[in-house]
Amino acid sequence: MVLGTSQYLSNGDRNLYFSYRIEAAYALYRAKKVAYILVSGDNGEKTYNEPKKMRDALIKKGVPAEKIVLDYAGFRTLDSVVRAKEVFGQESFIVVSQKFHNERALYIAENRGLKAFGFNARDVAQYAGFKTHLREYLARVKMMLDLYILGTSPKFLGEAVEIK
């Protein structure tokens, strides 16, 4: 499962978090460590579609379209992890993102009784990723509230989708 992020930054530059996650997912596929790639991200607006952008980038690298499964309701990491089990039937899976993000995703997976492994995509230089790392600190606080106080569930679950 590749966790979503925007393909481009707000200033129009390429988002290296996106590029490095795509490279990492492709490396897993090319090495035959995964048979399918679940791309999970935000598709909350007509003009914003992280799963489609990730799928397109993976196809461009050489992953067949039929080997890519799209999760359009991965609005947050918690949603993506829980939906991997509840919607896509995965009890065990590899999470592709940067190390700091994988740590949070794996914590959520363990909390929900899932067997997940992290495959760390290359990180972005500290200066370029400062805002992201600050956001991550706040996201971890929110994760603890969601898991232990609020009992948060995904925004949408939906019908089951089989991944063979």
Of 77, 82, 69, the residue nearest 39 (C-alpha): 69
Report the distance separating Cα 77 and Cα 71, nearest Å.
12
Angle between helix 77-86 and helix 130-145 axes, rounded to 10 deg: 60
Q: Where does the pLDDT of residue 127 fall: very low under 50, low under 70, confident under 90, or very high at 90 and above?
A: low
pTM value is 0.90
**49-99 tens-digit pLDDT:** 999 999 999 999 999 999 999 999 999 999 999 999 999 999 999 999 999
Is residue 155 included in any domain, yes or no? no
**17-36 tens-digit pLDDT:** 999 999 999 999 999 999 99
Q: What is the CATH number of the domain that holds 136?
A: 3.40.50
Query: Domain limits at 142?
Result: 2-150
Is residue 88 included in any domain, yes or no? yes
